Amino acid sequence: MWVFGSKAAFLLGVACVNAVAQDVIINDSYFYGDSPPVYPSPNVTGAGDWDQAYQKAKEFVSKLTQEEKVNLTAGVSVNNGCSGNIQPITRLNFPGMCVTDAGNGVRGPDFVNSWASGIHIGASWNRELALQRGKYLGTEFRAKGVNAMLGPVVGPSGRMVTSGRNWEGFSSDPYLTGALAFQTVRGVQSEGVVACTKHYIGNEQETNRNPGHDVDGYTVESVSSNIDDKTLHEQYLWPFQDAVHAGAGSIMCSYNRVNNSYGCQNSKLLNGILKTELGFQGYVMTDWGAQHGGIAAANAGLDVVMPNSKLWGPNLPKAIANGTMELSRLDDMITRLMASWYYLDQASTIPSPGIGMPKDSSAPHQIVNARTSSENDILWKAAVEGHVLVKNVNHTLPLKTPRLLSIFGYDASGDGQAREQSFGNASQVAFLNETLYVGGGSGANSPAYLDTPYAALQRQAYKDGTSLHWDFYSQSPAINANSDACLVFINSFATEGWDRPGLYDDYSDTLITNVANNCRNTIVVIHNAGIRLVNNWVDHANVTAVIFAHVPGQDTGGPLVDILYGRENPSGKLPYTVAKNQSDYGSVLWPSLPEGEFARFPQSNFTEGVYVDYKYFDKHSITPQYPFGYGLSYTTFEYSDLRVSKSKSRYSAYPEHATIIPGGNPHLFDNLVTVSVTVKNTGGASGQEVAQLYLGVPKGPVRQLRGFEKVSIEPGQSKSVQFSLTRRDLSVWDTTAQQWLLQKGAYKVFVGGSSGDLALTSKLNF
């Protein structure tokens, strides 16, 4: 390793690093990351409930030849539709493994469902729904012979609001993301499928995520996410810790560099934090093509390379022979892989890897139907609960059997000619002529059908005797003066591979304004794969209702129409903050670009620390359009009777020398405080409310989410809601002690219906 004391040395050092693939350690004011590298890579221990799987894996590895061990460290290409494959060892009855995309449903084959995307589930704020969705994702992946689902996504985490992949994750808040990731991992793995949680870590932009070349042909390295230790733990590691605590069998390391060392060969991140501090028992697998180092990457903690490896293969035995790599490291790499296989009993659950993953679904192939009627209720509920009603003037919604309903906008229907098109000032890309049910790239999924809003509205019109008027293609459609309501459907597209050019587009905003100028009751529905601004038209007197419909999967129509007509009461809450202007997001609006003396080594300095999304808005006293956690209902709720009580345990001392379990020190998850509140439905309709708890921790942000519960309440009824706060919830990461520590002083407790509506407050002293 090297320790750099100057920028010039840094530039020279990175060039050396590219050749020999070592950690880069920076001691420069421009960069974070002055911790030493961590070697050797710790062996899997069988901690928690992994012991039997570990013992079986260890026995299996003892029977392998060195060539067989090497073969298991890297993916191979076979004649199926899996994203990657681990080759079989037939003499030991190991059938190999199929790993494939993605966290929102199986991508590529037929006879699977397109599920609501991560951001949609984030907007549901429903733990049980996340668990059940995970379970049925697992059943579909298992039926298709997939050993590892490449998901859920917890990074990107929403730091950069224009990131092209934010829609794959749950939220811009680490607590909400972690809670839903925990449930997703549990659900998927309950069906015998590995949940490969990704992308570890700091993968917050698509721009320069991979090495490229400048105009002179010189290599431009991946962007370096420069993150200090405290921010890393409190903001970006948090949801990964929850996934590991849930028992995740695999973690995917990311394309980007972290503190100038590639994420898939950063020993501090892999050996030091993931495998030692968090006690991770599974295997670390690269994102596709993310291996940049050979033996150094293996020593740093990388276990499996996808889709193949030009740097390992015969080089591993050579390294063992010349002493640059220990045989025990190779054994541990395979033990971790096989421990996950045994942990989920995949010999029984997935005996034929890739059986339902044809290379070409349009060619003749064996039909493997992964869809079951038992999942339909959860598929539908997942689509319903991610819709967020943010405006509803004078109870415009629900609709009451309109005589004439006018429907406008390119997102209302699907003509089979889906295509991306840049509009107007190129500030955004919309998904023209196709309702947006999922984002693009490897996170996309395969719908069994597509129920568009227009199709569902036609069914409703047939039932009610309503006449429909429609125009999906004009930006300035003719308005029938007899319209009881005008529905305008737009979307906000995002995809892997590029970051969004903005948070709105002129074409769609003009379309809405043109309709609103001529229709007194204009209802806007946005299928948004990420934050979408509304400030250009939301205050128009004729815009009476607005729904953020996110990306609900193949059922974009039916669940929405159920909400529009009141058969479902909207219960979604925003999993991010909607600003009034793009500039309100500050330095995290756009991706970091190569520039100046670092043009070939692009840097992204996370100088905002933990102040992301609503915490940033609080710190800078910026009033948002709609705050984090906000969402309307067709009923109203009232909060009362806030109570805070400490556990009788010795809460102030941090128990050290505990045996590490998956997730870290087990005492981090001790419940130290209980908070309760009464929520009453004061309106006239049954509804679900998301009660939210925020803490003001000494030496921390003004408030940060530390609890939420979604409850169903009948009109006039009250329910008691309880929140349990763990040691980790109440602590901050101490960089000197290198552990989570409670803080002395007064903690502020806030409870309410959103981060902007916290009616009840209390204090807690330590």
Given a cut of 50, the residues of the chain with pLDDT beneath it are 1-32, 416-428
At residue 656, the pLDDT reads 67
Residues 750 and 703 in one domain: yes
The half-sphere exposure of 126 on its side-chain side, counting CA atoms within 13 A, is: 25
The residue from 349, 383, 401 where one domain ends is 349
Dist. CA 298–CA 280, nearest whole Å:
16
At residue 247, the pLDDT reads 98
- Say if 305 falls within a structural domain: yes
Residues 640 and 575 in one domain: no
Cis check for the bond before 398: say yes or no (omega within 30 of 0): yes
Dist. CA 286–CA 271, nearest whole Å:
15
Dist. CA 137–CA 131, nearest whole Å:
10
The residue from 544, 570, 596 where one domain ends is 596
Tokens describing residue 657: 């020398």
Residues 571 and 653 in one domain: no
Residue whose C-alpha is closest to residue 21's, from 240, 377, 311, 384 = 311
Dist. CA 28–CA 119, nearest whole Å:
37
Residues 701 and 579 in one domain: no
- Say if 687 falls within a structural domain: yes
- Say if 124 falls within a structural domain: yes
pLDDT in tens, 616-642: 999 999 999 999 999 999 999 999 999
The residue from 548, 568, 596 where one domain ends is 596
Residue whose C-alpha is closest to residue 120's, from 569, 553, 579, 756 = 553
Residues 323 and 415 in one domain: no
Residues 343 and 385 in one domain: no
Residues 570 and 703 in one domain: no
Residues 187 and 256 in one domain: yes
- Say if 354 falls within a structural domain: no
Instruction: Give, as one character, the DSSP assignment of residue 273.
Output: I
Determine whether 287 is an active site residue.
yes
- Say if 623 falls within a structural domain: no
Domain range enclosing 122: 45-349
Dist. CA 299–CA 474, nearest whole Å:
59
- Report pTM: 0.94
The CATH number given to whatever domain includes residue 243 is 3.20.20.300
* Dihedral of alpha carbons 339, 341, 342, 343, sign: positive
- How far the first Cα of the chain sits from its last, in Å, is 42
Residues 557 and 698 in one domain: no
- Say if 9 falls within a structural domain: no
Under a CB-based contact definition with an 8 Å cutoff, are residues 443 and 104 in contact? yes
Residue type, position 576, single letter: Y
Residues 310 and 405 in one domain: no
The CATH number given to whatever domain includes residue 523 is 3.40.50.1700
Residues 565 and 663 in one domain: no
At residue 19, the pLDDT reads 28
184-219: b (≥16 Cβ within 10 Å) or e: bbbbbbebbbbbbbbbbbbbbbbbbbbbeeeeeeee
Catalytic residue selected from 287, 499, 509, 618: 287
Residue whose C-alpha is closest to residue 643's, from 749, 559, 489 = 749
Residue whose C-alpha is closest to residue 180's, from 447, 386, 445, 441 = 386
Dist. CA 178–CA 165, nearest whole Å:
17
- Say if 615 falls within a structural domain: no
pLDDT in tens, 19-50: 233 343 333 333 445 678 999 999 999 999 99
- Say if 267 falls within a structural domain: yes
Dist. CA 121–CA 148, nearest whole Å:
21
At residue 415, the pLDDT reads 55
Backbone angles phi, psi at 516, to 5 degrees: -60, -30
**Number of structural domains in the chain:** 3
Helices (H), 304-369: 315-322, 327-343, 346-349
Residues 266 and 398 in one domain: no
At residue 9, the pLDDT reads 30
Residue whose C-alpha is closest to residue 379's, from 143, 186, 135 = 135
At residue 432, the pLDDT reads 57
